[in-house]
């Protein structure tokens, strides 16, 4: 007997489908899909959330010195003339960064191997590149999702049956983060 559902697709297609749906589940918090897919998604998503909960506090905060360009009132870089050339003026500032422990870095890499990169497009500028930003889902997992489930031992997702799909009669379900 197989350890997972085949979902009637070749392996690369099935893996891509599951990765995409797990990414959307963790980004949006809920998705609507078929029952068989939801059960497979649930296995993957719960494993990632458990990993995030385990490694949530496994980092240290370090203060480093960084050079940042000085900006004027309009937000443009300040330039001065040096040896006949325009050169940007830099200020030295202290920045706090989080330094992951090796086990947390490994967990982050495991998440990146499953999750697709997500780009958030503002509703005002649909179809334009300006204003789009890359969402770091692994960071979201550690900072937003994992703290909600610290006191919980598994059971991070819920499957609710909605009814049959009109076209082919497949059972539709809502899978959501609890």
Full-prediction pTM beyond 0.85?
A: no
Backbone dihedral angles phi then psi of residue 120, each to the nearest 5 degrees: -100, 120
100 DSSP 8-state letter: E
Integer Cα distance of 172 and 38 in angstroms: 9
Condensed to tens digits (0 to 9), the pLDDT of residues 94-131 reads 999 999 999 999 999 999 999 999 998 877 766 667 77
In whole angstroms, how far apart are CA 120 and each of 25, 35, 168? Answer: 15, 28, 33
Domains and CATH numbers, the chain: 11-58+101-177 (3.90.1030.10)
pLDDT for res 121: 81
Integer Cα distance of 151 and 53 in angstroms: 9
Condensed to tens digits (0 to 9), the pLDDT of residues 126-175 reads 666 777 889 999 999 999 999 999 999 999 999 999 999 999 999 999 99
pLDDT for res 120: 87
143 DSSP 8-state letter: I
Integer Cα distance of 51 and 108 in angstroms: 9
pLDDT for res 174: 97
Condensed to tens digits (0 to 9), the pLDDT of residues 6-59 reads 999 999 999 999 999 999 999 999 999 999 999 999 999 999 999 999 999 999
Helices and strands of the chain, counted as H and E runs: 5, 9
**1 band by pLDDT with thresholds 50, 70 and 90:** low
Contact between residue 101 and residue 58 where contact means Cβ atoms under 8 Å apart: yes
Integer Cα distance of 50 and 137 in angstroms: 15
**75 band by pLDDT with thresholds 50, 70 and 90:** confident
């Amino acid at each position: 007997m197989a350890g997972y559902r085949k979902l009637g697709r070749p392996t690369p297609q099935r893996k891509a489908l599951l990765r995409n749906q797990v990414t959307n589940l963790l980004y949006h918090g809920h998705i609507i899909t078929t029952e068989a897919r939801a059960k497979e998604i649930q296995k993957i998503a719960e494993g990632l959330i458990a990993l995030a909960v385990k490694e949530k506090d496994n980092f240290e905060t370090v203060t480093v010195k960084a050079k940042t360009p000085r900006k004027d009132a309009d937000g443009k870089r300040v330039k001065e003339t040096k040896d006949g050339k325009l050169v940007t003026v830099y200020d030295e500032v202290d920045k706090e960064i989080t330094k992951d422990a090796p086990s947390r870095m490994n967990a982050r890499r495991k998440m990146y191997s499953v999750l697709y990169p997500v780009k958030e497009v503002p509703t005002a500028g649909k179809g334009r590149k300006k204003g789009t930003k890359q969402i770091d889902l692994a960071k979201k997992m550690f900072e937003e999702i994992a703290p909600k489930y610290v006191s919980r031992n598994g059971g991070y997702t819920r499957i609710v049956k909605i009814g049959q799909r009109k076209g082919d009669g497949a059972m539709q379900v809502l899978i959501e983060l609890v």
